[in-house]
Structure 1
Amino acid sequence: MSEHRDGNALAGPLADIFTVEATTAEVQCRACGLSTTLAQLVVYGPEPGLVGRCPGCSEHVIRVATTPSGTWLDLGGATSFHFTSTATRASSR
């Protein structure tokens, strides 16, 4: 594998898809069950796309590839994503 970054590298491509701050979402790895934030994933890429891997077991959790015709999103390596609502974020400040 090549050099990697943290899950914040996924923020730009995911901002085109989600209207929430995706990097704060809690994600659970399908392979090992680890729950972590999207920002804590180990990300490889950018070519041909970004691959977010679990920091616990290194399995892929999310893949994002942007092409001239659109954005491909594979969430197959996750059992769930939990996005905190705007109201919840505001009350925790």
Structure 2
Amino acid sequence: MTELDANSAAGPLTLLFGRDVTLAVGICAMCGTTGPLGETVMYGPAPGTVLRCPQCSNVLMTIVEAPDRLLATMPGLRLLSVPTGGTS
């Protein structure tokens, strides 16, 4: 698969979450690196989209588009914080 900037995953991520989450912050379960999904390393698009930690290459998330559903795993994320747009 081809290595791409994870902002290329905006399409599959939007299908999964219903909005652009490239600014959502994740924490790698393996090395603890914290950063936006848009700064991860993406491989894809076929047979699916794979997001990897830019520091340790741990698989953070996979997204596969099937004909009638999306299949997603997030085995390498300790936490995913998605901004709601509200104020605190």
Whether the 8 Å CA contact 1:20–1:83 is kept in 2: the answer is no
Q: TM-score, normalised by structure 1?
A: 0.86
Structure 1 consecutive aligned stretches of length 4 or more whose deviation exceeds 2 Å: none
Structure 1 unaligned spans of 5+ = none
- Local SS of the residue matching 1:62: strand
Identity percentage of aligned residues = 33
Higher Rg of the two aligned structures = 1
Partner of 1:38: 37
Partner of 2:46: 47
- What is the RMSD computed on CA atoms of the aligned residues? 1.5
- Displacement of 1:87: 2.1
Q: TM-score, normalised by structure 2?
A: 0.90
Measure, in 2, the Cα distance between the counterparts of 1:68 and 1:85.
29
Structure with greater helix percent = 1
The aligned amino acid for 2:22 is: T
Structure 2 unaligned spans of 5+ = none
